A and B are shown apart, each in its own frame.
Chain A
Amino acid sequence: AQSVSQHNHHVILSEAASLELGCNYSYGGTVNLFWYVQYPGQHLQLLLKYFSGDPLVKGIKGFEAEFIKSKFSFNLRKPSVQWSDTAEYFCAVNQGGATNKLIFGTGTLLAVQP
């Protein structure tokens, strides 16, 4: 069965530190890849997505992610985090086609200390 692994459950960083959150998935076919963010008390918002083309994807708020097909990975990065980046981050995968359901990782809770 298709699955998504996020290795870091909790990450604590100081402001201006660099961020990298790992995401691996377990499906060998064509996939679409997403990172969503959930700020405290809010709904999930799309940070960025990869469907095809350039494997380095830039999203909102300075985030980017790199799709490495050989490693089944889609890690999220930001060079310099801010206190306002404190949130929970979810990696998700779908295969598109007839069923568009998303398979989510368990999430990474990021706390940025001022």
Chain B
Amino acid sequence: NAGVMQNPRHLVRRRGQEARLRCSPMKGHSHVYWYRQLPEEGLKFMVYLQKENIIDESGMPKERFSAEFPKEGPSILRIQQVVRGDSAAYFCASSPLVSNQPQHFGDGTRLSIL
């Protein structure tokens, strides 16, 4: 186990509902990254956060998606008014403060939209 904890492992939502995905980084890691893996595709970067700050959100869809990493608690990826195309595996990764350190990944959350 890489130590990055994601929950839930599987999430089923109906179209129009909200999805909340949680990620607790490895102990001692202060950087969190979210990636999305669509079927038959590689992982695509979504957003990079440090505590209370969004550093790079260049991969986030402009609408319905948001992310936060509060001072206390896990990072949350929130998808409002989900659509079928949001069905994917969402992976969280974390790394320490020091640069040039590899990212460690969680088990992912598999989101299915009915």
Contacts and interface: CB of A to CB of B under 8 A. Distances in A.
B27 to A, nearest CB: 17
A34 B58 CA distance: 21
Interface residues of B, number: 27
Nearest to B44: A104
Given A43-B2, A49-B102, A104-B44, A98 B55 contact: yes
A45 B43 CA distance: 13
Contacts, number: 62
Contact of A104 (B2, B42, B102): B42
Interface residues on A, range: 20 to 34
B105 to A, nearest CB: 4
B56 A99 contact: yes
A99 B58 CA distance: 10
Contact of A97 (B35, B41, B91, B99): B99
A43 B100 contact: no
Nearest to A4: B42
A51 interface: yes
B69 interface: no
Contacts of B45: 101-103
Contacts of A90: 42-43
Given A99-B55, A100-B33, 9 more contacts: A34-B102, A36-B105, A43-B4, A49-B102, A100-B48, A100-B99, A101-B45, A102-B43, A104-B35
Interface of B: 2, 4, 31, 33, 35, 41-45, 48, 55-56, 58-59, 91, 93, 95, 99-100, 102-108
